Amino acid sequence: MIKNIIFDWDGVILDSNSVKDRAFEYVLRDHDADKVAELVAYHQANGGISRFVKFRMFYEEMLGEAITEDEVAGLSRKFSEFALKELVDPALQIAESIQWVRENHKQYNFHVASGSEESELKRVAEAQELACYFKSFHGSPTPKPELVKNILESNNYLASETILIGDSINDFRAADANGIAFCGYNRLSLQDLGLAYLSEFTELNNYLK
């Protein structure tokens, strides 16, 4: 029986992936537009990987330029400053998943593991008045498989009693790496992965017993 549920954030709780697209475009606006579009396409296909990794990849692999940790951190701050203005908008809330969370948060242990920068993630959750439903929030720059591992170990959760809900292949990989169940949501390419694909969030009830 499932007792613990780990949620991805962008695309599962908030419909915020497009905000992150625009943030990358804004921060990298002085660079070649085709290269930036290539990075945004990579970002769209690889939710759950932190912006720190993506900025480094953009410079080192796409542009062939060196970049320091301090420079990556600076780009991340600019990204966050841009994105936060939009991420606090309640209109981004995904109604069906949030309704399910509100109705069930006392029955399960809810946690968030996200590719979003951790302090930003917590600020957004507070601003959206959603923080009260989750026991903890975990974000980048720590890789998602490690975030999931930390949640399991710090709470002494059994893998057999834990499930991850996500909208990207990297969410599935994080669940698989930790031996926990996975349900895909909000991305049709995940239909054949994990325990099940949720066409509607209430279908999750079928897989928790």
The domain of 186 spans: 4-15+90-207
State the helix-helix crossing angle for 17-27 and 69-87, rounded to 10 degrees.
130
pLDDT reported for residue 84: 92
pLDDT tens-place string over residues 106-158: 999 999 999 889 999 999 999 999 999 999 999 988 999 999 999 999 999 99
CB 58 within 8 A of CB 67: no
Residues 151 and 167 in one domain: yes
Residues 67 and 114 in one domain: no
Decide: pTM greater than 0.75: yes
pLDDT tens-place string over residues 147-198: 999 999 999 999 999 999 999 999 999 999 999 999 999 999 999 999 999 9
Quick one: CA torsion of 201, 195, 205, 191, rounded to 10 degrees? 30
Residues 23 and 105 in one domain: no
Q: 204: which 2 tokens? A: 């999750």
CB 61 within 8 A of CB 42: no
Look-up of token digits 């070649």: 32
Residues 106 and 34 in one domain: no
- Longest CA span, the chain: 52
Residues 111 and 161 in one domain: yes
- Residue where a domain terminates, one of 44, 60, 87: 87
Q: 146: which 2 tokens? A: 């490690």
Residues 177 and 195 in one domain: yes
- Residue where a domain terminates, one of 68, 87, 106: 87
Residues 108 and 193 in one domain: yes
pLDDT reported for residue 185: 97
pLDDT reported for residue 193: 96
CB 117 within 8 A of CB 51: yes
Work out how many domains the chain is built from and give that number: 2
Residues 80 and 176 in one domain: no
pLDDT reported for residue 50: 86
